[in-house]
Amino acid sequence: MLVEGRVEPPGSQKAVVRTAALLPYLRSKSKVSEVMNRRRPLSLSVIRALHRGLKIPGEVLVQASAKPPTRAKPRKKSQGGRPPVAA
Protein backbone atom coordinates (compact mmCIF):
# COMPACT_ATOMS: atom_id res chain seq x y z
CA MET A 1 0.00 0.00 0.00
CA LEU A 2 1.38 3.37 -0.97
CA VAL A 3 0.19 6.46 0.86
CA GLU A 4 1.43 9.94 0.13
CA GLY A 5 1.30 13.18 2.05
CA ARG A 6 2.19 16.69 1.02
CA VAL A 7 4.69 18.92 2.71
CA GLU A 8 4.29 22.54 1.71
CA PRO A 9 7.06 24.80 2.95
CA PRO A 10 6.18 28.49 2.70
CA GLY A 11 7.35 29.98 -0.59
CA SER A 12 8.45 26.72 -2.20
CA GLN A 13 7.09 23.93 -4.35
CA LYS A 14 5.04 21.08 -2.93
CA ALA A 15 6.94 17.94 -2.03
CA VAL A 16 5.47 14.46 -1.83
CA VAL A 17 6.47 12.27 1.10
CA ARG A 18 5.80 8.56 0.76
CA THR A 19 5.12 6.35 3.74
CA ALA A 20 8.03 4.12 2.77
CA ALA A 21 10.35 7.11 3.30
CA LEU A 22 8.97 7.68 6.82
CA LEU A 23 9.15 4.05 7.94
CA PRO A 24 12.83 4.12 8.99
CA TYR A 25 12.14 7.14 11.21
CA LEU A 26 8.86 6.06 12.80
CA ARG A 27 9.64 2.30 12.85
CA SER A 28 6.12 0.96 12.28
CA LYS A 29 3.46 1.25 9.61
CA SER A 30 0.82 2.07 12.21
CA LYS A 31 2.81 5.07 13.52
CA VAL A 32 3.40 6.28 9.96
CA SER A 33 -0.34 6.05 9.33
CA GLU A 34 -1.16 7.94 12.54
CA VAL A 35 1.30 10.72 11.68
CA MET A 36 0.08 11.01 8.08
CA ASN A 37 -3.53 11.20 9.29
CA ARG A 38 -2.57 13.74 11.99
CA ARG A 39 -3.59 11.46 14.84
CA ARG A 40 -0.07 11.35 16.32
CA PRO A 41 2.13 14.42 16.77
CA LEU A 42 5.81 14.30 15.83
CA SER A 43 8.32 14.16 18.66
CA LEU A 44 11.27 16.52 18.66
CA SER A 45 13.71 13.68 17.95
CA VAL A 46 11.64 12.54 14.95
CA ILE A 47 11.41 16.14 13.67
CA ARG A 48 15.20 16.41 13.82
CA ALA A 49 15.70 13.04 12.12
CA LEU A 50 13.25 13.88 9.31
CA HIS A 51 14.90 17.26 8.83
CA ARG A 52 18.36 15.71 8.55
CA GLY A 53 17.41 12.59 6.62
CA LEU A 54 14.73 13.80 4.22
CA LYS A 55 15.72 17.48 4.06
CA ILE A 56 12.24 18.58 5.11
CA PRO A 57 12.41 22.11 6.58
CA GLY A 58 12.18 22.01 10.35
CA GLU A 59 9.68 24.87 10.39
CA VAL A 60 7.22 22.80 8.36
CA LEU A 61 7.56 19.80 10.65
CA VAL A 62 7.16 21.93 13.78
CA GLN A 63 4.03 23.59 12.35
CA ALA A 64 2.56 20.20 11.46
CA SER A 65 3.19 18.81 14.94
CA ALA A 66 1.91 21.96 16.68
CA LYS A 67 -1.62 21.40 15.35
CA PRO A 68 -3.75 19.33 17.72
CA PRO A 69 -4.15 15.74 16.56
CA THR A 70 -7.52 14.84 15.11
CA ARG A 71 -9.61 12.25 16.86
CA ALA A 72 -11.48 9.47 15.20
CA LYS A 73 -15.23 9.91 15.21
CA PRO A 74 -16.90 7.78 17.88
CA ARG A 75 -18.69 4.75 16.54
CA LYS A 76 -22.40 4.31 17.05
CA LYS A 77 -23.23 1.65 19.58
CA SER A 78 -25.09 -1.18 17.96
CA GLN A 79 -27.73 -3.28 19.60
CA GLY A 80 -26.20 -6.40 18.13
CA GLY A 81 -29.24 -7.01 15.94
CA ARG A 82 -31.50 -7.62 18.95
CA PRO A 83 -34.92 -6.01 19.12
CA PRO A 84 -35.47 -3.47 21.92
CA VAL A 85 -36.64 -4.91 25.24
CA ALA A 86 -40.18 -3.95 26.23
CA ALA A 87 -40.59 -2.54 29.73
Query: What pLDDT does residue 50 have?
Result: 92
Q: Over 70: is that where the pLDDT of 58 sits?
A: yes
Sign of the Cα pseudo-torsion (51, 56, 59, 65, in order): negative
Higher pLDDT, 68 or 1: 68
Q: pTM to 2 decimals?
A: 0.60
**CA separation for the pair 76, 79 (Å, rounded):** 10
Q: Which of 24-28, 64-68, 76-80 has the lowest mean pLDDT?
A: 76-80
> In degrees rounded to 5, what are phi and psi of residue 64?
-65, -35
Q: What's the confidence (pLDDT) of residue 17?
A: 79
What is the CB-side half-sphere exposure of residue 38 using CA atoms within 13 A? 14
